[in-house]
Chains A and B, each alone.
Chain A
Amino acid sequence: MTAGGGSKEKRKKPVDTVKDGSSAGKRRAPLTLLLGAWFLPGLGHWVLGKRKRAAVFAVVIVCAFVTGVLLQGEIGTPRPQNPFSWLAAFACLGNGILSIGRLVWLNGLGGLLSGLPFGLQGGGSPSAAGFAYGNTFLYTAGLMNLLAVLDVSDIARGDKD
């Protein structure tokens, strides 16, 4: 057996975060935990005792969101006759309180409630040099937080460490 064969065997090993539990998928993660994890980035991992991961996720998501706002990115809001705007809105809504807070900042609480679903202002400036980059950062931050919520679900169900 050559050294190359050994490294192939090594590569076949499963990802080190996945458990081989037989009870995987039988339990459900509490809805309040998932809502909390979505609403405040890092909260779900913090509650589950994954403090380091929680801090890193919170810092990364907040940094990405703030960068997006500073670059004049626009919080995605639904637009009539534009189905892709719903995808952008979904991605941005993944930021939880960051996205909601920004929408309240721009529209006011009354404007936020009365403007649903098509009358919301997402801020940003399409003429700014960083507009497209800012949008990318905002979408990325939201999607990362949604992935973190799925991770919280896996940990709570015992599928993952």
Chain B
Amino acid sequence: MDHLFLMIWHALLVSVFFAFLWRTSAVGRRGLFLKTFLIMVVGSAVLGWLMFPFP
């Protein structure tokens, strides 16, 4: 299975879980979901890109 898809799927599940765990309002949940999801996906891509030159 595609590694990028698995990373996005994992980030999606974890972000939804913590949005519902830590926030009670719909607006709060949406905000936390977007924040954590984007941090995980974009952060992983950036980290992978930075590690690319290393063996």
Given A130-B1, A140-B14, A144-B14, the answer on whether A16 and B20 have CB atoms closer than 8 Å is: no
B10 touches A144 (CB 8 A): no
Q: What string of 1s and 0s marks CB contacts (under 8 Å) between A35-56 and chain B?
A: 0000000000000000011001
| Interface residues of chain B: helix, strand, loop or mixed (majority) | helix
Q: Which residues of B contact A53 (CB under 8 A)?
A: 20
Q: State in angstroms the CA–CA spacing of A42 and B28 once bound together.
A: 21
Q: Are A16 and B10 in contact (CB under 8 A)?
A: no
B12-55 Cβ-contact flags toward A at 8 Å (1 or 0) = 01101100111111001000000000000000000000000000
Complex Cα gap A99–B23 (Å):
28
Q: Does the CB pair A133–B6 fall under 8 Å?
A: yes
Question: Across the interface, do B10 and A56 meet the contact criterion of CB distance under 8 Å?
Answer: no
With A130-B6, A133-B6: A63-B21 Cβ-Cβ less than 8 Å: no
Contacts of A71 in B (CB 8 A): 1, 6
**Also in contact, A16 and B23, with CB within 8 A (given A130-B1, A133-B6):** yes
Given A60-B17, A71-B1, the answer on whether A17 and B24 have CB atoms closer than 8 Å is yes
- Docked-complex contact B17 and A17, CB < 8 angstroms: no
- Evaluate contact between B20 and A63: CB separation under 8 angstroms: no
Query: Which of B10, B23, B24, B28 contacts A137, CB < 8 Å?
Result: B10
Residues of B within 8 Å of A136, CB to CB, are: 10
Give Cα A120 to B10, complex, Å: 27
Min Cβ gap B16→A in Å is 6
Interface mask (A118-161 → B, CB under 8 Å = 1, otherwise 0): 00000000000110010011001000100110010000000001
